Amino acid sequence: MQNNWEKTVRTVNALILALLLLTQILLIRSWYNKTLDDIGINAMTISRVVADSINIAEYEKLLAGKEPNDYFREMQAYFKRIQAETGVKYVYVEHQISPSQIEYIFDSEGDSLGETDELSTPAAHTNTKAFHTRAQTSTLWGTLITGYAPLVNAEGQVIGAVGTDVDIQYIYQELAKRVGQIILYAAAMVILFGLLIYFTLSEEIRRRRIVEKNLKRTMQSVKDLLNNAGQGFLSFGSDLCIEPEYSVECQRLLGSDLAKRNFPDLIYPEDQEQRDFMSKVLRECFQENDPVRREVFLSFLPDAIFLNNDYIKIEYKFIAAKYQEETQALMVILTDATEKRALQEQMENERKTLKMIVKAVISRNDLLELISDYQRFCQVTVPQLLICKEPLQQVIADVKRRIHTFKGEFGQFEMIHMVRSLHHLEEEIKSFEQRDSATSADLGMLLQNLKLERVLNEGLRILQSTLGENFVATDKTIEIPEAKLVELEEQIATLIPSQEADVLITKIRQLHYRSFKELLAAYPNTVEGLAQGLEKLLYPLELKGGEFPVDTKRYQAFTKSLIHIFTNCVDHGIENREERIKAGKEEKGRIVCEMKLVQDQILLKIADDGKGLDLEGIKQKALELGTVTAEQLAELEDKDIIPLIFEDGLSSKESASMISGRGIGMAIVKQELEKIGGHLDIVTNPDTGTEFNFLLPMEGGAI
């Protein structure tokens, strides 16, 4: 910047000096031209005066006689007097005797009568204008300016011309003098302007050095602040190459020598696909002029990454670039959140553990029953697989259903370690299915080798360490074996009159009755946890009705299978916040569960206000699984597509997650519904969501 300013000052001063010199030259030129013009006019004036004083008649006699006479001598004296008084070089009269020759008649220098000269010479040739135009004229030749005036006789003929020569050598001397003055003036101006530039630049340089010193001090202070802020700061332009200025933390997080290195290459050093995607999004950001659209593009970039065992949070901000060819640059702020994330994970695990303990206390009996079912599966079902003779695919399907249901049930109690273990088990079984010549015994060995009870015991140790050893070991309530109750019912029916027996038997049976609503009591917390895990906004699930008592043993397996309905509502049905706003819905989704008695039947409705079933996805998956053919699909209406969701392995999701995607859950619901003789009607709409209407019999028998 300093060099540019100095160059500007020198240029301006040089222009001023050149302008002053040019002004002086123009003034001298004007003086020179005017002086020559004045001399020419003066010479013509003298010639005119002399021409007017000549007696034309006497002049014509001289022309005719060619002999000097008194008039000739008189005019010679007159010419010398004119020469002396005016200071001119010569005064003379000439006459053209042929087209190429002139003859001198009078001359201030002496006798000239009869002297001739060739018109080809400059001195003779300059008078031709006077002869031909009858006008006064002047001309410059050598160091003389000659003014001519024509002599005209009575008949109007030009019979001669008077010439006056003025020596202008003194003008050249004056011109040289003035040019010398200009040179001296220019030299003085150069020295003056040089001194002016020197002192001006010296002061400006001194001032700028102070400014630069302060600027460097400020920049160093800012750099020190950034280097000690515990964050990485860097920037890059549309070429995505990092600028040389970046904070020290960037080197610790991304490596050394970052200047001119490609930013996406540093963020995803081993993932070409992610590098290409990030590069594409960043280039779109730089090409986009609309700030709102640019922010949308920035939202596609990762806000956190794992790199070199560090968890790094990333922020992006557009700033004005320092280079003129770039209008903007993107500043990136890197924050090492590894310790913070570890602390958050620890707090999250503690929170989940606390939720698990609270839910275990609230629903202790349900948990104990679940633990008992799981232990029975591990201790009885798995060993039986070693000697099972049933078809392998049927065995695998049954095992997958049991495991998938266990995963959902343990998820209700926030036993995340069990959910993860069972999810891993599902993956192992999926790989097992792809083996050639596998048997049920092989499946049993696989399950035994996975030590399924060990994971359960780890979770139980957490509960026991908080709630005591006896929490899962003993129950302080009185337990009556079911066989004893059945035996008692038979004795009452035999020994007591029927009317009283019916009342007593009903009371005995109601010992293990609970309200139907109580069977679903765990689902509000389950739905809330699912929504949080999937980052979806959802109103709390409200259980309406269901206060009527039912035989829990009859409906328990079915109500447990409903975990898959609620999971699908949250995962598949309810949209995320942006999708709901775009669709004109509330930000929060809503799932309702209503239970009521209709004559001798239970009407259970579970509905969400999401985007409905993905019928196209169901069709595509059914084709891939070979459940239906393309010809059969073409003949099916939408209402006929819905039942396909109950097929084993059919899920509209591309991949399975810890929550859903196996394509097993709905098949389990169907299986349990059929066991109690129930009926299901499904209504779905892409604008209003999906509604599951279950009709269940109160007593034995199908609907």
Least confident of 112-126, 235-249, 364-378, 657-671: 112-126
| 452-505 pLDDT per residue, tens | 777 778 777 877 776 677 777 655 454 556 665 666 667 667 766 676 667 666
Mean of per-residue pLDDT scores for the chain: 79
CATH topology of domain 520-697: Heat Shock Protein 90 (3.30.565)
Q: What is the rounded CA–CA span in Å between residue 695 and residue 568? A: 20
> Average pLDDT in the 633-641 region?
81
More confident residue, 643 or 697: 697
- For residues 70 and 104, the answer to whether their CB atoms sit within 8 Å is no
More confident residue, 335 or 484: 335
> Average pLDDT in the 599-619 region?
90
| 72-85 pLDDT per residue, tens | 888 888 888 888 88
> 15-49: b or e for each residue (b if 16 or more CB lie within 10 Å)?
eebeeebeebeeebeeeeeeebeebbebbbebbbe
**Architecture in CATH for domain 2-172:** 2-Layer Sandwich (3.30)
Question: Residue 306, Cβ neighbours under 10 Å: how many?
Answer: 10
CA distances from 389 to 58, 192, 379 (A): 166, 116, 19
* CATH label, 229-336, candidates 3.30.450.20, 3.90.870.10, 3.40.50.720, 1.20.120.1200: 3.30.450.20
At residue 655's C-alpha, the angle toward residues 653 and 660, to 5°, is: 65
> Average pLDDT in the 1-12 region?
65
What's the pTM?
0.44
Confidence category of residue 575, pLDDT binned at 50, 70, 90? very high
Q: What is the rounded CA–CA span in Å between residue 319 and residue 326? A: 11
Structure tokens at 304: 């956190």
Confidence category of residue 626, pLDDT binned at 50, 70, 90? confident
| 383-413 pLDDT per residue, tens | 776 677 777 777 778 888 888 888 888 888 8
pLDDT at 112 over 80: no
Length of the chain: 703
pLDDT at 47 over 50: yes
Q: Which amino acid type is present at position 48?
A: R
Q: Nearest 5°: phi and psi at 185?
A: -60, -45
Q: What is the structure's pLDDT at 103?
A: 77
| Gap between the terminal Cα atoms of the chain | 91
Q: What is the structure's pLDDT at 602?
A: 95
Q: What is the structure's pLDDT at 481?
A: 60
Confidence category of residue 619, pLDDT binned at 50, 70, 90? confident
Q: What is the structure's pLDDT at 49?
A: 86
> Average pLDDT in the 233-245 region?
87
Q: List Cβ neighbours of 89 (8 Å cut-off, separation of 6 or more).
A: 83, 144, 165, 166, 167
Name the percent of the chain in helix, strand, coil, to the closest 5.
60, 15, 25
pLDDT at 661 over 60: no
